[in-house]
Each structure stands twice: as C-alpha cells, then as structure tokens.
Structure 1
Amino acid sequence: MKKLIFPYIWLITGLALFSCKKSLDLKPLNEISDADYWKNADQFKLAANEFYTFMASFNTVLADGSEGANPGPAPHSDLRSDLITSGSRNVFSNGSNTIPLTDKRWDTAYSRIRTTNYLLAQAAKYSSPAEISKYVAEAKFFRAYVYFDLLQLYGGVPLIDKLLNVNSPELQAPRNTRDEIVDFIITDLNAAIPDLPIEAVITAADKGRVSKGAAQAFLSRVALYEGTWQKFRGNAARANALLDTAIFRSNEVINSNQYTLFGTSGASAGLGDSALKYMFILENQKSNPLSITKSENKEYILANRYDYSLRQIRMNITHAAFANIYWITRKFANMYLCQDGLPVDKSPMFQGYATTTSEFTNRDNRMRYTMVRDGYYHWDNEIGLGCRITWNGDATDLAHSRGKHNSAFSSGYHNQKWASERGLSDNEEAYDYPVIRYAEVLLNYAEAVFERFETISDADLDKSLNLVRNRVNKTMPKLSNALVAGNGLDMRTEIRRERTLELFMEGFRVDDLKRWKTAETEMPMPLQGIKWKGTAYETRWPSLSTAKMDADGVYIIEDAGARKWEQKNYLLPIPSQQRLLNPNLDQNEGW
C-alpha cells in the first residue's frame, strides 16, 4: 500500500493487542505472524501509519472530560486554565482535582509506546535499513511525542525503550527522573531528524507524514518547555543548554523556507485581516470568501488531517465553539493590545467598557476574529438560515445570517475560533487540526532567545514574533526594545502575551503557566466576565443584577475563594491503580 490513507481508517488495529492488567501493556501481539510480515518497506510504512492516530486533535484539546474519578482525554484544554470556563466549574482549573483510580492518558500512552517499540524491534532485524529509515524515524518521533505528553502531565515516568514480557524487571522499576525522560525525548528526536524528508519533497500521496521540519519544530517545543521549567526552578545550567537547543532548532525551521504564515503571501493574502479566522476553518469546499483550499495553507507543519468525504471531525465543533460552550474570561479579553501596540491600561486609544462593543474598538484585529461582537451579524453552519451564501457580507448574506449577536449570556465574552460559516450538518466539519504550526515556531524562537539571554534584539523580534503580531495588524507598531522602554512595558510579559493570544484554544495555556511557574499566581485569580455596573449591560442584561460583582461592577463567575493552586498541582497525581501494580512507583509530591 503506497498511498497514505491514515487517519481515514484505523490501520492495523490488531497489530497491538494489549492487556489492561499491567501498567505497561504486555499481552503478545495478535495473530499477524512476524514470519509473514515485515518483509518490505511498504509493510513498515503501513505499520507506521498507526502512529498518526496518536496526534492531538479537536477531541483531545477542546473537550475536557474532567468530571469523576477517571478524567477524559483533554488535560491540555484551555478549560483547565484561566482563559475560558463553561457552565460548570472545572476541577483542574480551580485546583480541586483528586487522585484518580485510573487515568486513560497513562494507559493509552504506554500502549502507544509499545507500538513504536515494536516497529523499532522489527526494524533492527531488517536486512536493508536504508529502505525503512524514514519509518524508523517516524517511530522515534512519535515515541518522543508520547513521552513528552507524559512528561507534561506527570514529570518523571517509567522509561521503556524495548519490548517487555510478563517477567521483565522494568514492570517493578521506579520511575525514571525528569531529566532522564527529557534527555531520551531529545535523543529520539535528534536521531529522527536526519532521516526525515523536508516538506518540499514529500509527495502528494504522502502529504501529512512527519517532515524534517516537524521534528525540528517539535524539538524546539520540547526544549523551550523544559528549558523554562528548569530556569524558573533555579537550574540555570540545564536551562541554558535546553534553551540553546530551542533556539537552534526553531531557527532551522525558519531558515528552511519551507513554511509561511497563512495570509501573508499568495492567494491567502487576499483575505486581509480575516486570514487568521479562515485558516482555522479551511476546507476544500468553499469555506471562505476567496474559495481558498487547504493546499494554500503552508503554516501547518504537522496536522491531524480531516476530509469532508473521507474523515469528518465527528464532533459538534461549530455549535460547541461558537458563543455557547466556551465562556471567555475578562482576563483574556483584556490581554489584546490596542492598535498603538499598548495594553488597555496604558493606551489612549482604548475606548473603555461603556457600551457592549466599545472595548473592541481600536484593538488587535485578532480580538474581533477570535471573539464575537455584540450587535454584529454572524454566521455558523445552519443550512439555509445561518450560513454564508455569497460570502460577500452583502444583503443576501445578511438575510441568511443568524442575525445580530446578543452577548448577554454566559460570561458576556464569546468565542468564534473553530466555528464554521459553511452550511453543513452538525459533526460534519472537516478542517484540519494544527498539531504544530509555523506561528508557534516563530514564538518559540523569540521566547527562547529572550529567556536564554534575558534580552532580545529588534532583529530577532522582526524575524519571529513580529511576523505573527503583524500578520493581521499591518499598522500596529512592532514589538521593539524602544516600545518597551518608552512605555514602561516588560519584554517578557509582551512575549508571553503574543503567545497566549496567538495560540488560544490550541492546548498551550495551562502548560505554559506551569513551565513559567506562574500558575500559583494566575490560577487562583477569580474568573470574571463583562463589566456590568455602569455599562450598557445593565439594560441589556438586567437579570445579571443578582450575580456576584466585584467593587468595580465586574461580573464574577468564580471568585478567588473557590480557586486555589498548590505546588502539587503543577503535576497530575500518578493513578492509584498503577501504584498498586507497581509499588515502586512513587507519588508526585504533595499528593
């Protein structure tokens, strides 16, 4: 089989049949005989296809099954952070989670590690290593990918780099240290990079497979994460070495000229300020005013790929993402700069909160394309009455819209990221999920340089962060040392602001707060909605008069008394069942 058809079907699902009786799944592989398989490169390719089901997706980033003793698959969801909430409070966000009996993330991770180890074990016996080198590289990439997820959640974990049997002593071994896990991840990625192709030479049939740029970009993510984790916990020497790696690898991606920000060149530039909005809902069917298709998107370095005919997302993305489920907090809304490049508490351009839309005026254009403005026409995927018809915003489009948005519910701040404007039935959306995108790499570079040297030149800002900032803010002043010094700003705060705004609802926020060691400050803050007292919302939303307000008349969704963040919350607890199976697994501190 030469055509890559992951992830439209679950390939070789029987290739790894695992036992649930051990923390590391050990049951022998199924009926496929090794004597009959692993004969040629195509069979290694087919086996490697299963790795692509490991990637983050809408289900693992937007959803959050945090209720009950067995949390669901979304520990990186922004619902666990301080940026968004929902109709029910999140136990991971307010610090009230407890030790679970089991955790699907732990169980699934070790099943996946076994799958990668199995291919690597077979590859070691293959007579022509060069024929399968890129599939070996894919196995190492995805093994590193899974271990990084475990690291973010639990810190040090058991390191398994070979196939085990029921008598393997590793089953009763203590956890490896955090440093050992990080070093192993970096070793795997460094080994994979030379054998992966650059994006430009990947054939159409293989588009979507891991490229050299994807491995370099992912290594920049890992090294920045752990470099800052170590820096803000006092380990400068290790931090500096990791930050050097993050700078080097992100710079490799930048200098490769394989990727560009969507909306900055080619046909997508015609979308203007709306480019960022339409990139996230890009389909090969008409899904934007210029009928641009996925082939125009050179920003997604690695994506979980969907297709309207072959593999729909099968989640109610639009109706969940648009306005309703995700309640944006005032903290996030206030992060958007004004068009003079200054925050709302410093900019003379800021129009205040008197009306329901005044705070949107003169702001970073990402605000109006990420959030929904009160009183403005909007569209979603409702066929016939609610979706775009002409895509021109003309009378026909307006007549078929959902009408003017009313913000008087939830927090008063509403999301539109990930919400389609194309008419289609619920659950049929098919835009890709960006596992790694070029904007993140640019932001990784800027942050790594600053944290490594405690300073960053304007030239380095211009080659990285400012490309992201000015993508849809063509007239906004660039972030520069003069802007920071002349306006009493803090460079670290501004670099983190850009990252937070750009990567909103892509599964980064709670992990960023943890690595920066600022979760203990940010997470206990109250979750707030709109300013109600003394604004138009008093008339628009009179029922909110009975809600809790602060001294400035700002709606409090969850007050500080209900929120906490202890040091133990920086890592999840090891599931208790795993510690019963292996008594040598020590628990994370504080649990």
Structure 2
Amino acid sequence: MKKITYILAATFMLLFANSCDTLDIENINNYNADLVWDDESLVEAYMANIYADVFGNWNSQLDEKTQQLGSIHFYQDMVTITNSSYKEWDYETIRLINEAILNVTESTLEQDVKDNTMGQAKFLRAYVYFNMVKYHGGVPCIKIPQNKDTDDLYVKRNTTAECFDFIIQDLDDAIGLLPEQIEKSASDYGKIDAAFASAFKAKVLLYKASPQFNPGNPWDNSYWDDAFTANQTAYNKLKDLGYALTENYEDIFLVERGTEVVFAVINTYPNKVTNWDYGVRPGSESRGNAWAVPTWEFIQEFPMKDGKAYNDPTGKYYKTDEAFLQGYWENRDPRFDKSIVWNASTYEVSNKAGNRQYTSLGIADVLDDFGTNPAAKINSTNLDSYSGFFIRKGSDLSLLQSEVQQYDIDFIVMRFAEVMLNYAETANETGRTEIAISILKEIRERAGVEAGDDGNYGITAITREDVREAIITERNIEFCFEDMRFWNLRRLRMLDRLDGKTKHGVEAIAINQDGSEMPISEAKVKAEENALTEADFKYIVHQIPFTGVTVTSVPEKYYFFPIQQGVIDLNSNIEQNVDWGGTFDPTLN
C-alpha cells in the first residue's frame, strides 16, 4: 500500500496561515513551534508538505522547451528581467526547511527521529538551493530562519562556488544521517534515503564541472575529477544495493517500485492523482485535446533497430529522406514503439483490442486529426497544437476514457539509468572512455537495440568528443519527455541546437495500392474497422504551428537566467547577472 500522503490536516494548515517568503522584509512572521516540533506525527506532516512543494509531479508539457515536443516555447524575449518566466527564488521553502532544522534540533523527539528528519531537511535544502543555482548562479545562502527584527535581511548573493560548497556539505550531512536504503516494500518508501542523496550529490558535482559553469575551461577543469569520483561512488553504491535497469523499458514507468527507481513521488487515487494521461492521450480518448505532442524532428532522431541513424549509409536499415518519410515507423529502436503513437499504429487504449489510432484529416476523430487535405472538405482545428503524433510513454492504457483523470502512477524523480549516464559522462571527460562506452552498450541492450556483428549496438564513437556526443544522443532518447533534454543542452552550453529552429508535423493521407488518393468516405469506413495500416497512407510534412510564432529563440544569455527585478527592488544588495545588465558573474571561472 502507498503510505505517504502529501495532504495536511486542516488543523495543521492553520499553523502556517501566515507563513511567507524569506527575504520578503515586510511579511516575515513566526508560528508557535511548541505546537509542532515535539509531536512526531505533526513533524511528519510538516515534512510531507515540503516534499510536495519540492519534487513536483508528472507534466507532459515540460519538453516543449526542446525539439522533442511541438509548440514554440521560447519565443523572442520570453525571459526578461521584469517578468516571472524562469525565475527560481524559492526562499519560502528555504524558510520552512530552516525552521525544521532549527526546531528538530531543539525538540524532545527521539534521537533517531531527529536524525532522520534532519537528514531529510538537509537534503531538501540542498535540492532547493541547487535548483536556484542551476537557474541563476550564486544566490544568498540563508542557513537559519530569518527574523525581521534581529537579522540582516539585506543579504548579498554568495558566489556560485560558495553555493556549491554549501549544497555539497548539506548533502554529505544528509548521507550521514539518513538510512542507507529504504526498501521498496517499507512503510517509509517515498522518503529520501542515503542512496538517493549520494546519486544526487554526484549529479550536483557533474553540473559543477560542466561547461555552463566553466565556459573558460569547459572540458579540462579540475572539477571533472571530483565529479567522476562522486559518480563512480554513487554508481557502485547503488549497484551493490540492488539497483539495476528494469528489463522492459515501458515497465520503468508503469510497474511501480522497480529496480530502476532511485526516488519517486508516490501517487495514489483518489488522494493524489496527476494529469499525465489527461495530457498525452489523443482528444478522442481523453477529456479534451492532448496538451503535448512529439515533433517530426524528434521522430527522426530515434535510431533504427541497429542503433544507427536512419540516414547512416553504414546502417542495416539505411533509408533516404524520402523513403524514411513514407516508412518512418519501420525497424526503429524499440523505445520508439514504446514512446510514440503515430498514424495507424496499434494503440489499444481503454482496453480496445486491435485498436489503431488515426490522425488523418476526414478519417480520424476531429479531436485527433492533423492536416490540410482539401479532399476531406473540413478544416482541422488542431493545426496550431498537433503534429500527427502522440505520446505513448508512461500512459496507462488500461484506464477507460472516463477514468483518465484517475492516473496515479508514481512519478520518478531519479532512475538508475540517469546514475549510469552521469557516471559515463564523467568517466569520458576524465579519460576513461571505455567505461562510458560500456555503459552506453548496457543502456542500448536493455532498450532492445540489435548488438550487431561487432557487439557495439550501433555505437561507433571512439574519441572523447565522439563519445560525448553519443552520450548526449542517448540521453535524448532514453529520457524523452522526462524534462531532461533542455537542462542537459544548457548544462553543456549547446543551446544553439535549439536556437533559430522550426518544428514540423506529418499529415497522413489515405491512398490506394497504386498510390492514388483513396476516397475519404471509403477510407473512413476502413478506418472504423481498423483495416488501414501505416502503409495505406502517404505522408506530407508541415511546419507547426501553422500560425503565430514559428521560430524558437534561445539566446546565449539563457545559460543563466536573470534575478527578477522585483527581488532587487526589495534588496539593493542583490546584484543582477552580467548578461542581464548587472555585475554578478554566475560562473566558476
């Protein structure tokens, strides 16, 4: 049973009716700590509330920031100093965590309860600070609950190096206080353990070494050695504890508490549900149109079954661009079939055996169609939001349409595949390329990619630079729709791969065996019987969206986002980042 709840009792909520933002000088209030910190159940509730704020949940739209999903997320001047876009200044949560650290220490709770709570709080503080540093570079390191009458609230930003030191110290403290591993069957499952803390520390050090923070020396700075040591330690530790790749890729998400799950947010109907299925299903199988859809660009990026690109002349399944468009679903990396829904693909949603999903205008449901075929004698209403593809990954197809809002699959915050690829990256950047290649092979073997005669699973990389690119490529596929692509490209200072780009979708038009267009009326009848396969269509590429902004704008200065002007207006000691008109250098060199 799922034991963790993220809903506080109403009486407990009253304690925090007046809680407010740290650094908001006019509104820092206190509550009666005696009502909470000597009561273990209220401490549990307090911490559970912080968990819910910190870790979030499933969100189908997050990878719209990249080429993976449609919609032009980054339009020109989307991020400014004055608006709230991409501002991470979460001192309200920091205050709540600092309250926990202070008051648990002074409480009458049993020592083991104190230690466990302190370990969780130290991790959560590090996690929140890391997110702020990832956005902005150095931020003020507030270590105690501030008091408007006795504390200096006009604090300056700590350097980015000081922030990393503080984060790592908190994580080391957490690792020393937390249980090494919380078993998947334990009542405490869903809380942070030392295994997760070790893996997250390794990720933090990977970021510290990365080009985002070291533009002057991106690949040979000394931080890579520290990152390798931490990632090797985390990898070996978790592997010894039994963490491993889940055998079937789709089971990672749909079979909860698997061997690959390092940390997950627990969802349980009816107390805690999330909107993933609601957001990814075709409109005819949901409660409205899908919120996020894959692009043609991303469809092309999935490898073939032999692990090579479709247009690689050395590949077993090589195709020209024209041939690929008319048969893109054939002989793909098995993760493609488990991640994408395409026109006429088998899609047994709502337990509909043999069901095929159509997207062709005039044939598909009006909530699913995409295209401009004049023979349909109807205009699609989805041209600015759809692409001819849908997300299959993570979708619970057993839910009926009426149940789609009951989706309660646990949200995975970190899985072992990420630990492995973080280790691979740091190994490659410190001269241990053979370790990186070995891990890439493991990932592809689990995916079901063919090993090939050479046993390399389509991996041809040899040099440090080529292996680096292979890791970037593998992350793109392995973690698709998991909100990692943008942050990895940003961390590696590769946002130019998104800047100035357009996105496309694919229209399907039913055809006869001789290639002529099939009458819409005939095609519609056949589609209702699931008789049309992918080969019964021709395919045409369209730019998406049809109207409005069509070009992604991700300028160089987005490697560090600005501090919101409202924060600076409240505290003149806060410096703005250099690329946004200020004097603060958010890098490490």
Q: Which whole-Å CA distance do the structure 1 matches of 2:408 and 2:70 have between them? A: 25
Q: 1:131 deviation in Å?
A: 4.0
2:443 pairs, out of 459, 462, 468, with 468
Cα pair 1:321 1:415 within 8 Å, conserved = yes
Moved over 6 A (4+): 486-489, 535-538, 558-561
| Alignment match, 1:248 | 232
Gaps of 5+ in 1: 64-76, 265-274, 283-293, 381-386, 390-396, 543-551
Q: Which whole-Å CA distance do the structure 2 matches of 1:507 and 1:526 have between them? A: 20
Task: After TM superposition, list the pairs within 5 Å mapping 1:471-482 onto structure 2.
Answer: 471-473=446-448, 475-477=450-452, 480=456
Task: After TM superposition, list the pairs within 5 Å mapping 1:220-299 onto structure 2.
Answer: 220-228=202-210, 229-234=212-217, 236-262=220-246, 264=247, 275-282=248-255, 294-295=256-257, 297-299=258-260
Cα pair 1:26 1:165 within 8 Å, conserved = no
Task: After TM superposition, list the pairs within 5 Å mapping 1:4-403 onto structure 2.
Answer: 4-9=3-8, 12-16=12-16, 17-19=18-20, 22-23=23-24, 27-30=28-31, 33-39=32-38, 41-58=40-57, 61-63=59-61, 77-86=62-71, 89-90=72-73, 92=74, 96-102=78-84, 106=88, 109-126=90-107, 129-167=111-149, 170-199=152-181, 204-228=186-210, 229-234=212-217, 236-262=220-246, 264=247, 275-282=248-255, 294-295=256-257, 297-313=258-274, 315=275, 317-323=276-282, 324-346=290-312, 347-352=315-320, 353-354=322-323, 358-380=327-349, 387-388=350-351, 397-398=353-354, 401=355, 403=357
| Helix, strand or coil at the partner of 2:579 | coil
1:23-44 Cα deviation digits (max 9, x unpaired)? 47953333xx333442265554
1:438 pairs, out of 401, 411, 416, with 416
Q: 1:78 deviation in Å?
A: 1.1
> Judging changes above 3 Å, is the alpha-carbon distance between structure 1 residues 306 and 93 closer, same or farther for their aligned structure 2 residues?
farther
Cα pair 1:223 1:243 within 8 Å, conserved = yes
| Alignment match, 1:574 | 563
| Helix, strand or coil at the partner of 2:299 | helix
Gaps of 5+ in 2: 283-289, 361-368, 372-385, 521-538, 581-589
1:522 aligns with 2:488: no
1:152-205 Cα deviation digits (max 9, x unpaired)? 222221111111111455421221122121221111111111221133557622
Task: Tell me the TM-score normalised to structure 1 length.
Answer: 0.77
**Number of aligned pairs?**
516
Cα pair 2:295 2:389 within 8 Å, conserved = yes
Q: 1:281 deviation in Å?
A: 3.5
Q: Which whole-Å CA distance do the structure 2 matches of 1:46 and 1:418 have between them? A: 29
Cα pair 2:209 2:223 within 8 Å, conserved = yes
Q: Amino acid of the residue matched to residue 303 of structure 1?
A: A
1:510 pairs, out of 482, 486, 490, with 486
Q: Which whole-Å CA distance do the structure 2 matches of 1:112 and 1:118 have between them? A: 10
Q: Amino acid of the residue matched to residue 81 of structure 1?
A: T
1:447 pairs, out of 399, 415, 425, with 425
Task: Tell me the TM-score normalised to structure 2 length.
Answer: 0.78
Q: Amino acid of the residue matched to residue 456 of structure 1?
A: T
The Cα RMSD (Å) is 3.6
Cα pair 1:95 1:566 within 8 Å, conserved = no
Q: Which whole-Å CA distance do the structure 2 matches of 1:421 and 1:482 have between them? A: 32
Cα pair 1:411 1:530 within 8 Å, conserved = yes
Q: Amino acid of the residue matched to residue 345 of structure 1?
A: N
1:225-254 Cα deviation digits (max 9, x unpaired)? 221134554264343244234423432344
Q: 1:326 deviation in Å?
A: 1.8
Query: Which structure: larger Rg?
Result: 2
Percent identity between matched residues is: 22
> Judging changes above 3 Å, is the alpha-carbon distance between structure 1 residues 232 and 4 closer, same or farther for their aligned structure 2 residues?
same
1:328-348 Cα deviation digits (max 9, x unpaired)? 223322221122222222124
Q: Which whole-Å CA distance do the structure 1 matches of 2:504 and 2:184 have between them? A: 47
